[in-house]
């Protein structure tokens, strides 16, 4: 079976299993997985000979994510959009309150003591999941040229950036509450600042192309992210022009060469999981949705890798 056919098989099972198509009244949405899934569906669309089935599924997935993870949980005392906007305004601007992770358990309440193990299964908002969704929305804009997708991506960035950053814009929280009012995990992810810089910069280029209104400018957020990267990533090894010293770049190139040594191993891993019998293992079935989508991404990464 070709890689694209295998990816198609994986994604067809995913959209059915998670309640996208046929649509379920209680779909199983998870932000990280769904961001990659949108890109996978766009890649499959490029391989469609006739019709627009996969672009249609991508649109449905975006809508379902917003109407599920952009709103409070069914078991929450609060109702409606996370942003607090009216039903009509919330539907027009579904990302202005951020997006929930989609974890199985409600978030930890202010009077609850943190449990390091339980926190992994409790809801909230992760910055690195949000940037992946911004990337997916930008991919939708590139494919459809519908400016609303790009607007939603930038509105998401502007909504969450000031809530995740603190200490004068020099640090970031790892995990925030569903309403973005308090940190649930105060430590800083090693790559969140760099993730912000790369994602915001790509959105700024797209916004310039689309001639979006000035209120959707991301210059301040990009400056914050660049400052954090300079301090946290390379510390004193940044010169006056914001460039890393040659020795640091040389080290980075050596690391890239090391990664290339693992290409053969990556091929073997793909081949192993492409065998349907191997996907009956507990290690696969225990996280079937994310495993299936990530495998499909490795097999057909075009839309995800396009910037």
Which residue, chain included where needed, has tokens 């930890």?
108
Sign of CA dihedral 248, 167, 105, 25: negative
Give dist(CA 276, CA 279) in Å, integer: 5
Predicted local distance difference test score (pLDDT) of residue 192? 93
**C-beta neighbour count of 15 within 10 angstroms:** 18
Give dist(CA 293, CA 30) in Å, integer: 11
Over the stretch 195-240, which tens digit does the pLDDT of each residue have? 999 999 999 999 999 999 999 999 999 999 998 988 754 443 333 3
Three-class secondary structure of residue 259 per DSSP = helix
% of the chain at pLDDT higher than 90: 81
Q: Where are the beta strands (DSSP E) in 33-168?
A: 125-126, 165-166
What's the average model confidence in pLDDT over 86-113?
A: 96
Side-chain-side CA neighbours of residue 247 (13 Å): 5
Q: How confident is the model at residue 248 (pLDDT cuts 50, 70, 90)?
A: low
Cα–Cα distances (Å) from 106 to 69, 102, 120, in that order, read 13, 9, 11
Three-class secondary structure of residue 174 per DSSP = coil
What's the average model confidence in pLDDT over 160-172?
A: 94
Cβ 184 vs Cβ 176: under 8 Å: yes
Token pair belonging to 241: 């022009």
Report the Cα 263 to chain-centroid distance in Å. Answer: 25
């Amino acid at each position: 079976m070709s890689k694209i056919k295998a990816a198609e098989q994986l994604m067809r099972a995913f959209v059915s299993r998670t309640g996208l198509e046929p649509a379920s009244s209680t779909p199983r949405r998870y932000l990280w997985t769904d961001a990659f899934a949108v890109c996978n569906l766009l890649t499959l669309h490029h391989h469609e000979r006739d019709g627009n089935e996969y672009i249609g599924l991508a649109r449905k997935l975006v809508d379902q994510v917003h109407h599920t993870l952009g709103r409070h949980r069914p078991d929450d005392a609060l109702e409606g959009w996370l942003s607090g906007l009216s039903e009509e305004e919330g539907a027009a601007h579904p990302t202005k309150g951020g997006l929930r992770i989609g974890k199985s358990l409600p978030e930890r309440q202010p009077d609850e003591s943190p449990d390091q193990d339980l926190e992994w299964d409790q809801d909230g908002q992760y910055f690195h999941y949000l940037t992946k969704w911004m990337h997916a929305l930008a991919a939708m804009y590139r494919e459809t040229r519908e400016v609303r997708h790009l607007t939603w991506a930038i509105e998401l960035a502007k909504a969450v950036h000031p809530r995740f950053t603190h200490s004068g814009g020099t640090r970031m929280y790892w995990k925030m509450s569903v309403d973005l009012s308090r940190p649930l995990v105060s430590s800083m992810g090693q790559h969140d600042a760099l993730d912000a810089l790369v994602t915001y910069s790509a959105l700024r280029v797209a916004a310039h192309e689309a001639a979006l209104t000035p209120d959707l400018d991301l210059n301040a957020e990009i400056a914050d992210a660049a400052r954090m990267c300079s301090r946290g990533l390379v510390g004193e090894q940044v010169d006056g022009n914001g460039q890393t010293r040659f020795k640091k770049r040389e080290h980075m190139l050596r690391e890239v060469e090391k990664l290339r040594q693992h290409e053969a191993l990556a091929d073997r891993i793909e081949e192993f999981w492409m065998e349907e019998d191997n996907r009956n293992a507990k290690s696969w079935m225990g996280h079937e949705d994310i495993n299936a989508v990530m495998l499909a991404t490795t097999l057909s990464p075009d839309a995800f890798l396009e910037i």
